[in-house]
A and B are shown apart, each in its own frame.
Chain A
């Protein structure tokens, strides 16, 4: 099979298990984001894919051949480091041509390729500049061009945009995604920024404590989180305790929700409801009753905090559908069974 295939990979540092029995398959040409809090093992996993760390167990294959023990410099990949790691003693052009020079590519071919890549990253004519005199965004682009110089099979980026300011970061996310789609290169990005992952990835792999919690398309991760960690880590959510009766019907905050069923009778767990799916109505008539404690008007969105049955429920509405409520008022909350996700324990 082609693409990248990771089989039961484990990495231990002494007694600490950084990556625990991870299996993942990345088809050719897809964009995968490894997403998780710091220390979740995502960078370690990437370093093993690059060959900078060797797995304690398991195997990694690229394009059908086993590369678990192949040294880094013989793997067909390009990598962008968090620090970018541009060579300070070389010019922009020499940095980009480094991988070609190491492979003994003729000088004129190198020069042509550098010009191509500089055009691709919108920095034509920068070949003779010193890398120390570039702005953050320009350095970023040069690091990307350098990693892509040999047109590798696999493109790895470790927190590539973390050094940029927020505006530039958003622009680079879009640019990086467009570049990847144009080149059709298999790409893996490590990030802790869920917005970044949602913007760029075909598949988001959410990791925690060295394990994969869920690997799915961004919308699926958001709409159908596999567990409460994923639901909480991706975007904002209300996690409400529920109980199911013998007919699997679900009761939340003392109110039976019509049309919502648990996977088994008598199950207990958490219900994940996105704030934009919470509807605030008049009390009674099958709605959960609660009291408004706080209203945050952000201009573009209005967050309403409701205290109900000992839990706090946050509802988000747009200014057009702003509910006519005030703090201290008793209201009803309606949950949509279609968009509520039952996370059984």
Chain B
């Protein structure tokens, strides 16, 4: 059967439902947020419609600049950590026995059923002085005495990587399973050690998948606001934490909206930049 492009207006009918839902639940709230970001805040109260740039102006300070910078840095670090751990892990997983693969995939999927709160508290317990893993190290003779590993940047990174890891594996897994295993064998017969074969064949052959994974984890990590609060110091708080703080505790909706809009803009710009860079390299 030949497929023709839609001719009449009624041919677009099936598209109406998703388009309507998208408008209702995404475009309208986002437009509202943009509008609110220009509103005038009423001290001690709510806000009045206006068109002022105060909220954006207030945002342009060293303090918020630092927070934004840290948020982006944290999201990029988590994305890189996930991919660096995820690729060798998924590669070995895809080459292992079928039954073992299923066990691992089920275990990873079950992480997705945990809420961010549970993950946060589980890690804060594991990193605590009284009940944490350092007690195990003491028992093994690796450490002198138990100590608290939280709050710290490492704790935030660990928990966020843990949370994003299942998504990483789920995106990488199909691509690695489809990868012809004779490619690495061919590389080995051509003189590449297994490690060299991995970096010269497996990684470049998966370049687009890796880029997509990096972007996905980056965006996922950018929205995290509970784990930095549970496991980090105030200097580890992300912009999402401040947005929540402004919106809920300070009742400063216009400012929270301005920060959210700015965050979306910056992350879109970064994603666009990395896609552009990827295309440039492919065209080369």
A interface residue numbers (CB < 8 A to B): 50-52, 71-73, 75, 77-79, 81-83, 85, 87-90, 98-99, 102-103, 146-147, 149-150, 156
- CA separation between A64 and B272, bound complex, in Å? 58
The answer to whether B200 touches A72 (Cβ under 8 A) is no
For residue B180, which residues in chain A have a CB less than 8 angstroms away from its CB?
A: 83, 85
- CA separation between A103 and B191, bound complex, in Å? 7
The answer to whether A85 touches B192 (Cβ under 8 A) is no
The binding surface of chain A is classed by DSSP as loop
Known: A88-B205, A89-B204. A99 touches B191 (CB 8 A): yes
Across the interface, A81 reaches (CB within 8 A) one of B182, B192, B197, namely: B182
- Rounded to whole Å, the gap between the CB of B206 and the closest CB of chain A is 9
Is B190 an interface residue, CB under 8 A from the partner? yes
Closest chain B residue to A150, Cβ basis = B191
A87-B205, A102-B191 given. 17 additional CB < 8 A pairs? A71-B188, A73-B194, A75-B189, A78-B189, A79-B186, A81-B185, A81-B186, A85-B180, A85-B185, A85-B186, A87-B187, A89-B207, A102-B200, A103-B191, A147-B189, A150-B190, A150-B191
Tally of B interface residues using CB under 8 Å: 20
Is B48 an interface residue, CB under 8 A from the partner? no
The answer to whether A83 touches B182 (Cβ under 8 A) is yes
3 tightest Cβ-Cβ pairs between the two chains A and B: A85-B186, A99-B190, A79-B189
Is B275 an interface residue, CB under 8 A from the partner? no
Closest chain A residue to B189, Cβ basis = A79
Is B105 an interface residue, CB under 8 A from the partner? no
- Rounded to whole Å, the gap between the CB of A31 and the closest CB of chain B is 19
- CA separation between A83 and B188, bound complex, in Å? 15
Interface residues of B in 11-61 (CB under 8 A from A): none
- CA separation between A87 and B194, bound complex, in Å? 16
Across the interface, A85 reaches (CB within 8 A) one of B182, B193, B204, namely: B182
For residue A87, which residues in chain B have a CB less than 8 angstroms away from its CB?
A: 183, 186-187, 201, 204-205
- CA separation between A90 and B190, bound complex, in Å? 15
- Rounded to whole Å, the gap between the CB of B263 and the closest CB of chain A is 34
For residue B233, which residues in chain A have a CB less than 8 angstroms away from its CB?
A: none
The answer to whether B190 touches A102 (Cβ under 8 A) is yes
The answer to whether B196 touches A102 (Cβ under 8 A) is yes
- CA separation between A149 and B190, bound complex, in Å? 9
For residue A103, which residues in chain B have a CB less than 8 angstroms away from its CB?
A: 191
For residue B187, which residues in chain A have a CB less than 8 angstroms away from its CB?
A: 87, 98, 102
Known: A83-B180, A102-B196, A102-B200. A89 touches B189 (CB 8 A): no
Closest chain B residue to A87, Cβ basis = B201
- Rounded to whole Å, the gap between the CB of B201 and the closest CB of chain A is 6
The answer to whether B192 touches A73 (Cβ under 8 A) is yes
- CA separation between A72 and B189, bound complex, in Å? 6
For residue B190, which residues in chain A have a CB less than 8 angstroms away from its CB?
A: 73, 78, 98-99, 102, 146-147, 149-150
Closest chain A residue to B192, Cβ basis = A102
- Rounded to whole Å, the gap between the CB of A178 and the closest CB of chain B is 23
Closest chain B residue to A146, Cβ basis = B190
- CA separation between A89 and B189, bound complex, in Å? 18
For residue B204, which residues in chain A have a CB less than 8 angstroms away from its CB?
A: 87, 89-90
Mind listing 30 A-B residue pairs with CB under 8 Å?
Answer: A51-B188, A52-B188, A71-B188, A71-B193, A72-B185, A72-B188, A73-B188, A73-B189, A73-B191, A73-B197, A75-B189, A78-B189, A79-B189, A81-B185, A82-B182, A83-B180, A85-B182, A85-B183, A85-B185, A87-B183, A87-B186, A87-B201, A87-B204, A88-B205, A90-B204, A98-B200, A99-B190, A102-B190, A147-B190, A156-B189
Contact with A along B166-186 (1 / 0, CB 8 A): 000000000000001011011
Closest chain A residue to B205, Cβ basis = A89
For residue A72, which residues in chain B have a CB less than 8 angstroms away from its CB?
A: 185, 188-189
For residue A150, which residues in chain B have a CB less than 8 angstroms away from its CB?
A: 190-191
- CA separation between A150 and B190, bound complex, in Å? 9
- CA separation between A50 and B186, bound complex, in Å? 10
- Rounded to whole Å, the gap between the CB of B187 and the closest CB of chain A is 7
For residue A146, which residues in chain B have a CB less than 8 angstroms away from its CB?
A: 190
- Rounded to whole Å, the gap between the CB of B81 and the closest CB of chain A is 24
- Rounded to whole Å, the gap between the CB of A108 and the closest CB of chain B is 20
- Rounded to whole Å, the gap between the CB of B189 and the closest CB of chain A is 4
Closest chain B residue to A98, Cβ basis = B190
- Rounded to whole Å, the gap between the CB of A44 and the closest CB of chain B is 14
Most buried by A among B183, B188, B190, B201: B190
Closest chain B residue to A83, Cβ basis = B182
For residue B201, which residues in chain A have a CB less than 8 angstroms away from its CB?
A: 87
- Rounded to whole Å, the gap between the CB of B190 and the closest CB of chain A is 4
- Rounded to whole Å, the gap between the CB of B185 and the closest CB of chain A is 6
- CA separation between A81 and B187, bound complex, in Å? 11
Closest chain B residue to A82, Cβ basis = B182
Interface residues of B in 131-189 (CB under 8 A from A): 180, 182-183, 185-189
- CA separation between A199 and B186, bound complex, in Å? 26
